[in-house]
Copies of this chain bind each other. A is one copy, B any other.
Amino acid sequence: MNESEEPAPGVAALQRRLADFAAARDWQPFHTPKNLAAALSVEASELLEIFQWLTPGESGRVMEDPGTAVRVRDEVADVLAYLLQLCTVLGVDPLAALTEKIERNEERFPPPSRGSHSME
């Protein structure tokens, strides 16, 4: 899906670009952590709205419709934008936070053992 390891720009560059965008429009007073968390939640619901009446099968084919595909990409961008802006104002590194979470989950939810030579 993503052929190259990391398309430019990366997450940190996008965070700076979003911060510059907000600063140029004097939007920082609105960007409290509380407001950004509310906006993130609202955008995540707008993404869910696309899927709310679809069957599981239909939900797997949303990108086949060009108009819906545009809408999905637009809402994904909005969710990521508010998540990154929230991380910036809180001083949270989102990629490091997720890496740590995956490592904790690998311990919490060990995969079922596979194969005939299992000791279990």
Contact = CB atoms under 8 A, between A and B. Distances in A.
Contacts of A11: 2, 6, 10-11, 95
Contacts of A90: 62-63, 72, 76
Nearest to A24: B111
A111 B47 CA distance: 27
Contacts of A93: 1-2, 7
Contacts of A60: 32-33, 89
Contacts of A91: 1, 63
Name the residue in A6, A37, A59 with the highest tally of chain B Cβ atoms < 10 Å from its Cβ.
A37
A38 to B, nearest CB: 4
Nearest to A10: B6
